[in-house]
């Protein structure tokens, strides 16, 4: 079965650079979510999109932005990178049933290292 | 505010022994509850979920969890653990508009003693 695809899987950037992470949800899923997991930490919700509109917002820094495109894939743009942005970034997708988000399926994550 | 507490940071059990991982949540309405497992450097795999109905939920890999509203708990159990169960386990609650975000607990690391 198709799963959530994230690219790249690994990314190394310098401080103050920009990074773009991509997420391709499971076919027919209409909602995507972004999470950040620091070393030894639990995943923290960043932002979600439903039908290309922002659905919920969590602890996403102002330096980060995200969007969902017409084909439902999503991109997380990160600017002015800081050392503390080094983390595993997960994307998840789901579909809504009766107005409620169903089970979220997680991608393998993108490991971002900021030097 | 919604929150999830996993009081045990690290648990070690012998292979073949039973397992119970504790989870308590704080949520105003009827919660959507999840247990995820994460192997080192890997993604998150859903073990089981509770949305409504029967309070005893069966999941994959022989895991089960019981929702107890009176205790605000959703403990994960397995009658006999295998060495391959060694991983990080996260309890989580669905929150936000239309349960559109997941709030994770801090995780419990499970080690298996041969």
pLDDT tens track for B27-51 = 777 788 999 999 887 889 999 999 8
Mutate: best of B43, B46, B97, B99, partner A, most A CBs <10 A: B43
Q: What is the pLDDT of residue A61?
A: 94
Q: What is the pLDDT of residue A99?
A: 65
State yes or no: pLDDT of A97 exceeds 90.
no
The answer to whether B104 contacts A43, with C-beta atoms less than 8 Å apart, is yes
Both structure tokens of A50: 């439903």
Q: What is the pLDDT of residue B79?
A: 97
Within a 10 A sphere around the Cβ of B67, how many other Cβ atoms?
A: 21
The answer to whether A105 contacts B104, with C-beta atoms less than 8 Å apart, is no
Q: What is the pLDDT of residue B94?
A: 85
State yes or no: pLDDT of A65 exceeds 80.
yes
What is the band of A100 on the pLDDT scale with cuts at 50, 70, 90?
low
Stretch among A7-16, A98-107, B14-23 having the lowest mean pLDDT: A98-107
**What span, in angstroms and rounded, lies between the C-alpha atoms of A92 and A98?**
19
Both structure tokens of B3: 């929150």
DSSP secondary structure letter of residue B16: T
**What span, in angstroms and rounded, lies between the C-alpha atoms of B89 and A44?**
15
* Whole-number average pLDDT of chain A: 92
- Chain B residue whose CA is closest to A92: B44
End-to-end Cα spacing for chain A: 36
* A36-62 per-position pLDDT tens digit: 999 889 999 999 999 999 988 998 999
Q: β-strands B108-113, B10-14: how paired?
A: parallel
**What span, in angstroms and rounded, lies between the C-alpha atoms of B10 and B89?**
10
Backbone phi, psi, residue A17, to 5° = -80, 180
The answer to whether B104 contacts A99, with C-beta atoms less than 8 Å apart, is no
């Amino acid at each position: 079965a198709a799963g959530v695809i994230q690219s790249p899987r690994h990314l190394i950037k310098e401080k103050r650079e920009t990074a773009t992470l991509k997420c391709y949800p499971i076919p027919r899923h209409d909602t995507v979510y972004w999470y950040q997991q620091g070393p030894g930490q639990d995943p923290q919700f960043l932002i979600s999109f439903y039908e290309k509109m922002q659905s919920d917002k969590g602890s996403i820094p102002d330096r980060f932005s995200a969007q969902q495109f017409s084909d439902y894939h999503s991109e997380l743009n990160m600017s002015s990178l800081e050392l503390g942005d080094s983390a595993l970034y997960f994307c998840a997708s789901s579909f809504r049933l009766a107005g409620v988000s169903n089970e979220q399926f997680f991608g393998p994550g993108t490991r971002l290292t900021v030097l | 505010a919604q929150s999830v507490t996993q009081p045990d940071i690290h648990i070690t059990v012998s292979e073949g022994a039973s397992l119970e991982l504790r989870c308590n949540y704080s949520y105003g309405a009827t919660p959507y509850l999840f247990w995820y497992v994460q192997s080192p450097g890997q993604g998150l795999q859903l073990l089981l979920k509770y949305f409504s109905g029967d309070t005893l939920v069966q999941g994959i890999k022989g895991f089960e969890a019981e929702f107890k509203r009176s205790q605000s708990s959703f403990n994960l159990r397995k009658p006999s653990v295998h060495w391959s169960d060694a991983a990080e386990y996260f309890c989580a609650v669905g929150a936000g508009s239309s349960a559109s975000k997941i709030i994770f607990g801090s995780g419990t690391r499970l080690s298996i003693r041969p």
